[in-house]
Amino acid sequence: MDSESHKSTEQKLVYMANQIAGFFHTQPKDEAIVGVAEHINHFWEPRMRSQLFAILDKDGNGLDDLVIAAAKHIRKPGSVPA
């Protein structure tokens, strides 16, 4: 078994969100924030986004600053798309 199989769902989501942020770090900050949010809104299912919001509520969650900044642009599950 590899080390990835031992990670919790929360750790995997933090890892994935931070990978997305890492990609967008090369862009101007405002564009990067929107890019992270759009990617998560487009590719993450509602259950994953719900878990992300639960992680965001925790101190020391390990999320990249871009993910934290993008949170206000990420659709909460059950909300009506703009």
Q: With helix as H, strand as E and coil as C, how does 2-44 read?
A: CHHHHCCHHHHHHHHHHHHHHHHCCCCHHHHHHHHHHHHHHHC
In this prediction, residue 81 carries a pLDDT of: 56
In this prediction, residue 1 carries a pLDDT of: 44
Per-residue pLDDT of the chain (82 residues; tens, 9 = 90+): 445 555 799 999 999 999 999 999 999 999 999 999 999 999 999 999 999 999 999 999 999 999 999 999 999 987 555 5
In this prediction, residue 21 carries a pLDDT of: 98
In this prediction, residue 80 carries a pLDDT of: 54
Contact 75, 45 (CB under 8 A): no
In this prediction, residue 6 carries a pLDDT of: 58
Residues with Cβ within 8 Å of 10's Cβ and at least 6 positions away in sequence, in order, are: 51, 55
